[in-house]
Amino acid sequence: MNQAVPEPVVKVPCLARRDETTAPASRVIPEETPIAFTFGGTTHAVMMATPADLEDFAVGFAITEGLIDAGNLDVEVVASELGVELRSWLPGDRQRDYADRRRSMAGPTGCGLCGIESLEQAARQASPVKGSLRVSAAELTAAMDRLPGEQRLNRQTRAVHAAAFWSPVTGELFLREDVGRHNALDKLAGALARHGVAGSSGVVLMTSRVSVELVQKASRIGASMIAAISAPTALAVRTADACGMTLVAVMRGRDFEVFTHPSRILEQAPLHVVA
């Protein structure tokens, strides 16, 4: 019999030091659980992650790993004492192709490019991005301002990252959370695919720094813009520039910095239309 999937947050006791006094207290903190991705019965990766939005996680991980291009997967969630296994089969010939290139990797929280097998894999190029999307500075900062109100897990724990997708055409905001910023983006990728939302129609928003794997994953989604509250790495900037992505970072209130392809950021609000 399968066990229940762990709750994404738990309440734990602690000793709190307040005003030079120590007393028993408690705090709600995020859970961190081994999550195994298996495709056709073969384990592909084990990531430490928050056990929430697991179907989105499985689909998004398959997309950002390049195992599928888009769409959905039938995912079986199996929990045990050791962790949670996300079981699925890749569609059509993808499962056969996968068997030819299967590999295993282990990814500690927040590690980025974990378990890769060669320097060539670390230096892989991001997918070229296109699109005529343009947004104003005011629209972008207003979208980022919406994130704290949507971060249910972070309001409880103050310890998880968020990856969001904002559409300037519809105003819709998708958001997923996790202790790992790259896990949160994988979950977001899965949510977009499962809802049939094109990555080219909006902007990826991150509550973290921008490292190279976030640019790579955003390019797999098809997003032409990524924005974050913290600074990027130099490799992330070079990768975004090479693939045609606009990278905005160090967002603080109304202020931010644009590192690549600034033509997508306008002073005045553009007329957004559905292509």
Supply the CATH number for residue 176's domain. Answer: 3.40.140.10
For residue 113, pLDDT over 50 is answered with no
Helices and strands in the chain: count of H runs, count of E runs:
9, 15
Residues 243 and 125 sit within 8 Å (Cβ to Cβ): yes
Q: Tens digits of per-residue pLDDT, 253-268?
A: 999 999 999 999 998 8
111 carries an active-site annotation: yes
Cβ-proximal residues to 123 (8 Å cutoff; 6+ apart), any chain: none
CATH at residue 39: 3.10.20.10
Same domain for 206 and 112, yes or no, is no
Tokens of 61: 């991980």
Give DSSP secondary structure letters for 128-197: P------EEHHHHHHHHHTHHHH-HHHHHHS--EEEEEE-TTT--EEEEEESSHHHHHHHHHHHHHHTT-
The single residue of 14, 111, 114, 243 carrying the catalytic annotation is 111
Q: How far is the C-alpha of 260 from the C-alpha of 228, rounded, in Å?
A: 13
Residue bearing the bigger pLDDT, 46 or 112: 46
Same domain, 149 and 262: yes
> 157 and 262 share a domain?
yes
Q: Quote the domain boundaries for residue 48.
A: 33-122
Place of tokens 């070079």: 238
68-82, 123-137, 141-155: which has the highest mean pLDDT? 141-155
189 and 233 share one domain: yes
Same domain, 66 and 167: no
Using CA atoms, how far apart are residues 153 and 23, in angstroms rounded to an integer? 26
174 falls within a domain: yes
Query: How many Å apart are CA 127 and CA 244, to the nearest integer?
Result: 9
- What is the token pair recorded at 128? 């070229």
Q: Which of 87, 122, 157 is the last residue of a domain?
A: 122
Place of tokens 């905001």: 173
40 & 111 share domain:
yes
**91 and 162 in one domain?**
no
**Strands 161-166 and 203-206, sheet pairing:** antiparallel
Label residue 130 by pLDDT band (50, 70, 90).
confident
Q: Which of 175, 145, 144 is nearest to 161 (CA)?
A: 175
256 shares a domain with 212: yes
- Final residue before a domain boundary, out of 122, 146, 179: 122
Asked if residue 129 belongs to a domain, the reply is no
Residue 95 has pLDDT above 90, yes or no: no
Clarify whether residues 177 and 78 are in a common domain: no
pLDDT score of 193 more than 60: yes
Give ∠ CA 5-6-11 in degrees, rounded to 5: 160
Task: Write out pLDDT tens, residues 10-50.
Answer: 999 999 999 999 999 999 999 999 999 999 999 999 999 99
